[in-house]
Amino acid sequence: MDILKASVILNTINEDRNLLSIAIESYLNQTNVEVELIISSVEGDINLDFVRSKYPSCKIVTMPRSEHPIGKGIKEPKGSFMQLNNALKHITGDWFVFASGNDFAYSDKLSMEINSCIETGTEVCYSSYDYVNHLGRRKKAQLFHDYDFKKHMVGNFVSDCAVVSRRLVDKYLPFKIELNNYAYWDLWLRIYEGEGNVFCYNKNPTWAYRQEDSSMHLQRKKDQNKINQAKKDRETMLNQHR
């Protein structure tokens, strides 16, 4: 049997060190998959020396602080996509996955999703996931449904952490930074429009989404300016597909 090879880009900036370790180890300890773990950050991240020392097998890719929103004291989704685009040229695996520095994967995430693609002849596998609290304890599961383009134009249900074939990565990336938090949704729609239904859904939760009061997406909901900008970005993105 051929060895499954996946590249994971894990985004982080000054993350809680314990949470970051949990996230890193969850991908380094994947079963039946050879993982290339790329830590994507910004110059000056307080954890870079720690990662180099404790996890020498990880690749570390940084971008200049002056080019990242965090350098201006701003924490926004655009920075995450800038980090992703900066790290994409370093991947070598046959499959690609995005990971956040404070979430974590279950040990069979990559093998389950990649094998689902292989078995169904598809190239993107999105899974259910669990919401967990700050201690990592399960709160509830987020379930989805089989792929439907009409439903996808109403709301995004393909998570950022879905597995994607290297072929699609090379063809459809980098991300469109100007779309801010809708850049991943835009990617999935572009893939459907160019390839047809190459998506498969795995109903078994494969990763945990850590949700806290300080989470960026929850903070955005409390800021009317950010809410208005998000609505504008959403319409800009969807108008490119209507």
pLDDT tens string, the chain, 242 residues long: the values are 689 999 999 999 999 999 999 999 999 999 999 999 999 999 999 999 999 999 999 999 999 999 999 998 888 889 999 999 999 999 999 999 999 999 999 999 999 999 999 999 999 999 999 999 988 889 999 999 999 999 999 999 999 999 999 999 999 999 999 999 999 999 999 999 999 999 999 999 999 999 875 555 555 566 788 889 899 999 999 999 99
pLDDT recorded at residue 214: 53
Q: In the chain, what is the straight-line distance between the N-terminal and C-terminal CA atoms, in Å?
A: 43
Please, what CATH class does the domain formed by 5-239 belong to? alpha beta
Ramachandran angles phi, psi of 104, nearest 5°: -150, 155
Q: Dihedral sign for Cα 65, 212, 184, 220, please.
A: negative
CB 181 within 8 A of CB 77: yes
Q: To the nearest 5 percent, what fractions of the chain are helix, strand and coil?
A: 40, 20, 35
123, amino acid identity: E
Q: Cα(131)–Cα(208) distance, rounded to whole angstroms?
A: 6
Residues in the chain: 242
For residue 81, which phi and psi values (nearest 5 degrees)? Answer: -75, -30
pTM of the shown model: 0.94
